[in-house]
C-alpha cells in the first residue's frame, strides 16, 4: 500500500499531478484543441488549480463525430456481439487494476471523499461488466402475421451516441452511458463537465488499452457553451444522453429537436425521504444522513426533503442534528465524512439559499455557514445543514440546492407524508422508512418518482433502471432498459 500512500501524499502536496492527459481523445489518440486553447481544473479541497486540459470547440466536436461515425460504419456495428462483450469485460478488469489512481484523480477533480470515489470507480467497473454480459443477449422478436408471411424484428444500434456528463459523478455517469452504448453497437463522443474532465479521459485510455478500435469512444473536453452545445446540435449524432441541470437539459433538448435527435435526460431532483413512526429508527437515521451528506449533497437523487411522522419527529431530528454536528470535514484525500462542494459558484449558490431562508424566518437547526478545510484553511466547504421547513411551498423545500442542506417537514400520518412528498416539480427518486410492509409498497405505488428506495436509501445498482418523471427528465439509464436507449427496432415483413 506504499504506492497508494505516495499517490495521496503527492496529490495533497499541491504539486502538479503527474501523467494526466491534457488533450482531447479523438480517433484513438490524445490531441490538443484545434484552436490550441486550454483551461484549468481546480481542486475544490484547496480551491486551487491542479492541472490543465484542452478547451475544445465545434472544430474538435466535428473531428470526434467524424471519427465515431467512421468507427461505427467500418468496425464496431458489425463486430460479433460476443467479441464486443469480451472487450467490455476487459475494460472492467482494467478499471479495477487502475482503481486507486482513478480514485485519486476523481477525488482531486470533484472534491469528493476518496472513499466515495473508490466506490464510484468500482461502480464504473461494474457497469462495464454488466453490459459486457448483455451484448450477445440483445434479441429481436417474431410476429404472427399468417402462414404466407414471415415477420421479425432486429435490434440495431442507433449510431453515434453523445454523452454529456456532469461534475458530481464524473466516471460513474460516463460509465453508465458509455458501457450500454458500446454494448448495443453504438460509438461514442463524450463531453465531460469542464470542472471534472480527467477520469473520462483516463477511461478512454483504458478502452484503447482493452483493445477497442480507434474512434469507438472519443472524448472532447471544454465548456458547455463551447463544446457541449455544438455536440448537442451536431447533425452527425443519433442520440444524446444528458445528465445535468434543467436549464442545460432544456437547451440540449431544443438543439436536438432541430435534427430530430433522440434524447435521454436525467435532470434535477428534490427527493423526499419519508420516515414513518413504525420504522427502524437507527436504520432511518443512517439512511437520512447518507441520503443528504454523501458527496456533500451534490447528487441529483440526494434525499434533500425529510418528511417525518409527528410521533417520531422531535427525538429523531435532535438525533440527526447531533450526528450532523459530529461529521468530519476536510480535503477529500483525507477521506472525511464530508468533502468540499465542487466550485466557488456552487458554494455561493448554497449560501444564497440559506441567507434568503433566514430572511424569511426559517429556523436553521444546525450548520448554515460557509467554512474551510480545518487543516489548511482552504477549499469550498459548506457546513452540513438542517432546517425546519413548515411551508411546503417555500423555496428551500421546492428548489434543488445541490449541497449539504436538508429540510424537515412534519407529516401527521402516512397519507399526509405522501401528499407532501409528491408536492414537487421534480420526481427522480423517493425513500420510505417503515416497518410496515403494506405501507411501504402502497407508498411505492403512489409516490411519483422513477425509483423508490424502501428501508435503504440509494439501494440498488447498475441492474436497476434509473431516471425521472416531471422536470427530473425522461428515459431510463442502467438496467436492460438503459441498453434499449441505444437500440432501434427494425421490423421486417416478408411474403414467403
Ligand atoms: P451545472 O449547472 O450543475 O454545472 P450543467 O447542466 O450546466 O450543470 O452541466 C452538465 C453538463 O452539460 C456539463 O458537461 C456541461 O458542460 C454541459 N452543458 C452545459 N450547458 C450545455 C449546453 N447548452 N449544451 C450542451 N451541453 C451543455
- pLDDT value at residue 115: 98
- pLDDT value at residue 3: 74
Angle at CA of residue 203, ends 202 and 206, nearest 5°: 90
- pLDDT value at residue 118: 98
- pLDDT value at residue 401: 98
Question: Scanning the structure block, which residue is given the C-alpha cell 491534457?
Answer: 22
Predicted confidence (pLDDT) at residue 322 exceeds the cutoff of 60: yes
The residues that bridge with 266 in the sheet, in sequence order, are 243, 473
- pLDDT value at residue 336: 98
Q: Model confidence at 271, in pLDDT bands (50, 70, 90)?
A: very high
Told to judge if 309 belongs to the known catalytic residues of this protein, a careful annotator would answer no
Residues ≥6 apart with Cβ < 8 Å to 214: 27, 28, 29, 67, 71, 208
Which domains occur in the chain, in start order? 2-267+473-492 (3.40.605.10), 272-461 (3.40.309.10)
Among 244, 245, 400, which residue has the most ligand 1 atoms within 8 Å of its CB, making it the best to mutate?
244
Residues in the chain: 496
Q: What is the mean pLDDT of residues 280-304?
A: 98
What residues line ligand 1, using a CB cutoff of 6 Å?
A: 164-166, 191, 193-194, 223-224, 228-229, 232, 244-245, 248, 251-252
Q: Model confidence at 442, in pLDDT bands (50, 70, 90)?
A: very high
User: Which atom of ligand 1 sits closest to the CA of residue 402?
Assistant: 3
The residues that bridge with 262 in the sheet, in sequence order, are 239
Q: Chain-wide mean pLDDT for the chain?
A: 97
- pLDDT value at residue 1: 52
Closest CA to 174 of 267, 242, 234: 242
User: Which atom of ligand 1 sits closest to the CA of residue 229?
Assistant: 24
Q: What is the mean pLDDT of residues 161-170?
A: 98
- pLDDT value at residue 249: 98
What would the pLDDT profile of 197-249 be if each residue is shown by its tens digit? 999 999 999 999 999 999 999 999 999 999 999 999 999 999 999 999 999 99
Contact criterion met (CB below 8 Å) for 375 and 334: yes
Predicted confidence (pLDDT) at residue 491 exceeds the cutoff of 60: yes
Told to judge if 186 belongs to the known catalytic residues of this protein, a careful annotator would answer no
Residue with CA closest to ligand 1 atom 15: 224
pTM for this prediction:
0.97
Share of the chain above pLDDT 70, in %: 100
- pLDDT value at residue 15: 74
Amino acid at each position: 500500500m506504499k504506492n497508494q500512500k505516495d499517490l495521496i501524499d503527492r496529490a495533497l502536496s499541491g504539486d502538479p499531478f503527474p501523467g494526466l492527459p491534457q488533450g482531447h481523445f479523438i480517433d484513438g489518440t490524445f490531441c490538443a484543441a484545434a484552436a490550441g486553447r486550454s483551461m484549468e481544473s481546480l481542486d475544490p479541497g484547496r480551491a486551487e488549480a491542479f492541472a490543465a486540459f484542452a478547451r475544445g470547440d465545434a472544430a474538435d466536436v466535428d473531428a470526434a463525430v467524424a471519427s465515431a461515425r467512421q468507427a461505427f460504419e467500418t468496425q464496431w456495428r458489425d463486430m460479433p456481439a460476443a467479441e464486443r462483450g469480451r472487450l467490455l469485460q476487459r475494460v472492467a478488469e482494467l478499471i479495477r487494476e487502475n482503481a486507486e489512481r482513478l480514485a485519486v484523480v476523481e477525488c482531486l477533480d470533484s472534491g469528493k471523499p476518496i472513499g466515495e470515489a473508490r466506490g464510484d470507480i468500482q461502480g464504473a467497473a461494474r457497469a462495464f461488466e454488466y453490459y459486457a454480459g448483455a451484448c450477445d443477449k440483445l434479441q429481436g422478436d417474431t410476429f404472427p402475421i399468417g402462414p404466407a408471411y414471415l415477420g421479425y424484428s432486429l435490434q440495431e444500434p442507433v449510431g453515434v451516441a453523445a454523452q454529456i456528463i456532469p461534475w458530481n459523478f464524473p466516471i460513474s455517469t460516463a460509465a453508465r452511458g458509455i458501457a450500454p452504448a458500446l454494448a448495443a453497437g453504438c460509438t461514442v463522443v463524450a463531453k465531460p463537465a469542464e470542472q471534472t474532465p480527467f477520469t473520462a479521459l483516463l477511461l478512454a485510455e483504458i478502452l484503447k488499452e482493452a483493445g477497442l478500435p480507434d474512434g469507438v469512444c472519443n472524448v472532447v473536453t471544454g465548456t458547455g457553451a463551447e463544446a457541449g452545445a455544438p455536440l448537442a446540435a451536431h447533425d452527425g449524432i443519433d442520440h444524446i444522453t444528458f445528465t445535468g441541470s434543467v436549464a442545460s437539459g432544456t437547451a440540449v433538448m431544443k438543439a436536438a429537436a432541430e435534427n430530430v435527435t433522440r434524447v435521454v435526460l436525467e435532470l434535477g431532483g428534490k427527493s423526499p425521504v419519508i420516515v414513518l413512526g413504525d420504522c427502524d429508527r437507527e436504520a432511518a437515521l443512517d439512511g437520512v444522513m447518507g441520503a443528504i451528506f454523501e458527496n456533500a449533497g451534490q447528487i441529483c437523487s440526494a434525499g434533500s426533503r425529510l418528511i417525518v411522522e409527528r410521533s417520531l419527529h422531535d427525538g429523531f431530528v435532535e438525533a440527526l442534528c447531533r450526528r450532523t454536528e459530529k461529521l468530519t470535514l476536510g480535503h477529500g484525500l483525507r477521506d472525511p465524512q464530508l468533502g468540499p462542494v465542487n466550485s466557488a459558484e456552487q458554494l455561493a449558490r448554497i449560501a444564497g439559499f440559506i441567507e434568503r431562508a433566514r430572511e424569511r424566518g426559517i429556523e436553521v437547526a444546525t450548520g448554515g455557514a460557509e467554512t474551510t478545510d480545518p487543516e489548511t484553511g482552504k477549499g469550498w466547504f459548506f457546513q452540513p445543514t438542517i432546517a425546519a421547513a413548515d411551508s411546503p411551498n417555500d423555496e428551500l423545500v421546492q428548489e434543488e440546492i445541490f449541497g449539504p442542506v436538508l429540510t424537515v417537514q412534519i407529516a401527521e400520518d402516512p397519507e399526509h407524508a405522501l401528499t407532501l412528498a409528491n408536492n414537487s416539480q421534480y420526481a427522480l427518486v423517493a425513500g420510505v422508512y417503515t416497518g410496515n410492509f403494506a405501507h411501504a409498497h402502497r407508498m411505492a405505488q403512489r409516490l411519483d418518482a422513477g425509483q423508490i428506495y424502501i428501508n435503504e436509501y440509494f439501494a440498488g445498482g447498475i441492474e436497476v433502471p434509473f431516471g425521472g418523471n416531471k422536470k427530473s427528465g425522461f428515459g431510463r439509464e442502467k438496467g436492460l432498459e438503459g441498453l434499449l436507449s441505444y437500440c432501434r427496432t427494425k421490423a421486417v415483413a416478408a411474403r414467403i
